[in-house]
Amino acid sequence: MTDTVSFHALVPAAGTGSRMGGDMPKQYLSLLGRPVIAHTLDALLRVPRLASVCVVLSPGDTWWERYAWPDDRRLRVLRSGGATRAASVAQGLAVLAGETSAKDWVLVHDAARACLAPEQVDHMLDELREDPIGGLLAMPLADTLKRADAAGRVDATLPRAGLWQAQTPQMFRIGLLADALRAYPDVTDEAGAIEAAGHAPRLIESGGANFKITYPQDLALAASILASRKEPRE
C-alpha cells in the first residue's frame, strides 16, 4: 500500500550569526546579489515533493521585508523564533503539528546551508521515507582531530574512525521530533534530541558543498559553488 505521508521543510532563521561579525544576521548577507537564505529557499522549493517550506524568523527581524522572495504558495513565514536554534525549531514544529499528521515528515534545514542541492533532498526522501526513525545528511570526517590544551598546544590526537560531521536537512517524523525536543531542549541539532530519546538516526552521506556559512570567507566559497552549478553543461 502506498502511504500518503507528506514532507515539510522547516528553516530556523532566527540566529544572529555572531561569528560573522557585523550587524546583519548572516542569513541576509549578500551571496551572488541575493540574501544567503534566498538560495537556501530556492533549493528547497525546487523539490516538488515538499508540501511546504516554513521559515522561522526572530520576532524582532526587520530584514525579511526588505527583499523579494520566491512567489510560491508553499513558502510561509513564522515570526516566533526563540533564544536557541532548538527553541526556534520547536516553535515551527508546534505550528506544523497542528496542521499535519504526527507521522508526516519534517526536514529541518539551516538557513545558512545555501549550497544544498535539490537532488540531495530528493535522495534523502527516497532513502528515509520508509525508515522507522529518520536521519540526516552527514559527511565522514576527513581531517585528523586534535584536542587543545589551555595554552593552545596539542593535548591529544583523537581517533577519527567512525566519526561524521552532521549537516542538515535532518529528517524526522513531526510527532517524534516534537516530543524529543520537548524532553531534550538542550541539544545543538535535531538528531541529538532523537538520540537522547533512545533512537538511532540514519546517516545519509553528503559532500562538503553542503557546508554552513559561518565565517566571512565562506561567502566566496558558496558563491563559487553556486555559480559553477549555473554554468551551462554540455
Determine which residue in the list 10, 45, 111, 204 makes contact with ligand C5P, applying CB under 6 A. 111
Q: Is 80 in the site for ligand C5P (CB under 6 A)?
A: no
Our CB check for ligand C5P shows the closer of 104 and 110 to be 110
> What is the distance of C-alpha 112 from the center of its chain?
8
Compute the distance between CA of residue 90 and CA of residue 61 in angstroms, rounded to an integer: 18
Say how far residue 227 (Cα) sits from the centre of its chain: 21
Up-side HSE of residue 158: CA atoms within 13 Å toward CB? 11
Candidate list 7, 9, 10, 14; residue touching ligand C5P; CB under 6 A: 14
Q: Which residues contact 4 (CB under 8 A, 6 or more apart)?
A: none
Tell me whether strands 30-31 and 105-108 are parallel, antiparallel or unpaired: unpaired
* Smallest distance from ligand C5P to CB 84, Å: 5
Which residue type, as a one-letter code, is found at position 115? Answer: C
Q: Please, what is the minimum distance in Å from the beta carbon of residue 202 to ligand C5P? A: 21
81 binds ligand C5P (CB under 6 A): yes
- Smallest distance from ligand C5P to CB 205, Å: 21
- Of 112 and 180, nearer to ligand C5P (C-beta) is 112
Identity at 191, one-letter amino acid code: A
**Residue showing the smallest CB distance to ligand C5P in the complex:** 15
Grouping H, G, I as helix, E, B as strand and the rest as coil, residue 153 is: coil
Is 56 a binding residue for ligand C5P by CB under 6 A? The answer is yes
Q: What residues pair up with 106 in beta bridges, in sequence order? A: 8, 172
Regarding 212 and contact with ligand C5P (CB under 6 A), the answer is yes
Gyration radius from the chain CA atoms: 18
Of the ranges 6-14, 67-75, 122-130, 153-161, which one interacts with ligand C5P (CB under 6 A)?
6-14
Q: Which residues bind ligand C5P (CB under 6 A)?
A: 12-15, 17, 27, 56, 81-85, 88, 110-112, 212
